[in-house]
Chain A
Amino acid sequence: MIVTTASSAEYPTRRDFLFVATGCAAAVGGAATLWPFVSQMNPDASTIAAGAPIEVDLTPIAQGQDIKVFWRGKPIYIMNRTKKQIEEARSVPVSSLPDPQPDQARVKEGHDQWLVVIGICTHLGCIPIAHEGNYDGFFCPCHGSQYDSSGRIRQGPAPANLEVPPYQFVSDSKIQIG
């Protein structure tokens, strides 16, 4: 009553070819139709444009001060570290750190006093408070993670150091983040 396939034929028939070809065309067409529905959830052009690199002027930040800027919706600490802070950060044996990383790897060469880190605690995402805690760095009030003056985790539940965003020095007094 229903469809007769080529099960009894020696070779694949024209009908078999047509079935397979139609199926392939349908699969390609289906994928092509599905893609825009998935892709539309990615950031749109205005969001990408709003996430373009920003320039920050460093001249208003005196030694020992820090500011917070936003880039791509994330808070970024820009800290003008004192000599004492830099020395404290560099005198720690790197291997003793929970997330070993030398201070020199977290700042730009020739601009050692400038620390630029994303202010999101690597534990569960709160914003740590600057110039707090036992290491003259950052203290996260949510669960007590403590970071040092290089933004590295020293004690508490956070697993990793504060992330350093992509940035470069446009001039001695200006950086571009992103």
Chain B
Amino acid sequence: MSGPSDYQPSHPALKWIERRLPIMGLVHSSFVAYPTPRNLNYWWTFGAILSMMLAVQVLTGVVLAMHYTPHADMAFKSVESIVRDVNYGWLLRNMHASGASMFFLAVYIHMFRGLYYGSFKEPREILWILGVIIYLLMMATGFMGYALPWGQMSFWGATVITNLFSAIPYFGESIVTLLWGGYSVGNPTLSRFFSLHYLLPFVIAGVVVLHVWALHVAGQNNPAGVEPKTEKDTVAFTPYATIKDLFGTCCFLILFAWFIFYMPNYLMEADNYIPANPGVTPPHIVPEWYYLPFYAMLRSIPNKLAGVVVMFSSILILAFLPWLDTAKTKSSKYRPLAKQFFWMFVVVGVLLGYLGAQPPEGIYVIAGRILTLCYFAYFLIVLPLLSRIEKPRPIPNSIADDVLAKTGSKATPMVSTVIALVVAGALFAGSAQNARAEEQEAPPS
């Protein structure tokens, strides 16, 4: 996107349009002729997957909004009527709810890819920060969307999270009242959540445009972490990256479809099928799985304000990553120490997620505190330290050399295979469950 394109369509009518609005040239230079590193692996397909998921969520969301009623007295019922009465309403609802989870799954993989291969490093700092902004917007959108069905978990999750702002000294209470539009979470809160939930995805779309623009200025990073030097290092985006993205998207859609059709409520909370009751708090308030690590960190800190600060910092610290990890070698492929700490960080993240769903008692609290420390230690201690003391392995001379090298690393395909098998196994196990209550359990009195 640097400078006018030299693309010229052949048809005279298209030439006429092109002279007045060079959109074909723009699409051509950005997505057809765009030079793409030839050594990209499938972890690079998640950008396209995310774009598709945004489109899926917007489409299903717009269509669901035709049948949903954003009023506290009617919201729950309207969602049930979508699932039961509207033609294919069950499908649209499942697509949107499962789609949110798949959206976050894809974004976490996308972010971890960035972490591992150093995609946040110079000159891609703004690209990375735009990504953090998109992630924050996604979290806000997801939070408000979850409130809309107005079940028990919707209501109480909204109450807990909006109450976070009361931790702000002096202004806290008035801010919370402003957010609520009342003296507690109620109908005004629901209406504004609906309006903002409809708005934010389009804000996300705008930031995604900036994100792709920033990407195209710097060019893609690649698994070797070596910038393209000659034409031999790159291939045209179409058809190579286009088809690879399409194939990655199809595999992702298989996973997505599995959740939609076989396990739609696996990631949902049973309590959210109880209409919101302002007088009864559920015994375990749990956010959706993609917020669990941050929820765990919030609950680890005994002080209210400190807990809120720690939770928000844990996300904001990502924006500072380019200045915390200043190692010249981009890809962890050539950084043996950084690679090990990366996988430890992944384990810390998963464990924090697990802890977020447990009751905050006993060993879980201690573990949560230790793991929160580990989380911040990774960014504030490990990465800066490694930038100074680690001796990286020699990086390849160029991408072409890396691709043409006879001895390839067997490790990465192994990791991907293991992950795929674990996921497949978990899916089979999860779909083998049914919704029937246990034989021995007495019904709730």
Q: Give A contacts to B, CB under 8 Å.
A: 1-3, 35-37, 39-42, 44-47
Contact = CB atoms under 8 A, between A and B. Distances in A.
Interface in B203-260: 235-236, 238-239
B81 interface: yes
A45 B84 contact: yes
Interface stretch (B87-95, B156-164, B397-405, B411-419): B87-95
Interface hub of B63, B84, B88 (most chain A Cβ within 10 A): B88
Interface of B: 59, 63, 66-67, 81, 84-89, 91-92, 235-236, 238-239
B81 A40 contact: no
A36 B92 contact: yes
A39 B92 CA distance: 11
B86 A40 contact: yes
B63 A40 contact: yes
20 contacts: A2-B238, A2-B239, A35-B88, A36-B88, A36-B92, A37-B59, A37-B92, A39-B88, A40-B66, A40-B89, A41-B66, A42-B87, A44-B67, A44-B81, A44-B85, A44-B87, A44-B89, A45-B84, A45-B86, A47-B85
Nearest to B56: A33
Contacts, number: 39
A35 to B, nearest CB: 8
A45 to B, nearest CB: 4
A128 B235 CA distance: 72
A36 B91 contact: yes
Given A1-B236, A2-B238, A41-B66, A36 B87 contact: yes
A46 B86 CA distance: 8
Contacts of A35: 88
Contacts of B81: 44, 46
Nearest to B60: A37
Interface hub of A2, A42, A46 (most chain B Cβ within 10 A): A2
A40 B85 contact: no
Contacts of A45: 84-87
A39 B239 CA distance: 34
Interface hub of B85, B87, B236 (most chain A Cβ within 10 A): B87
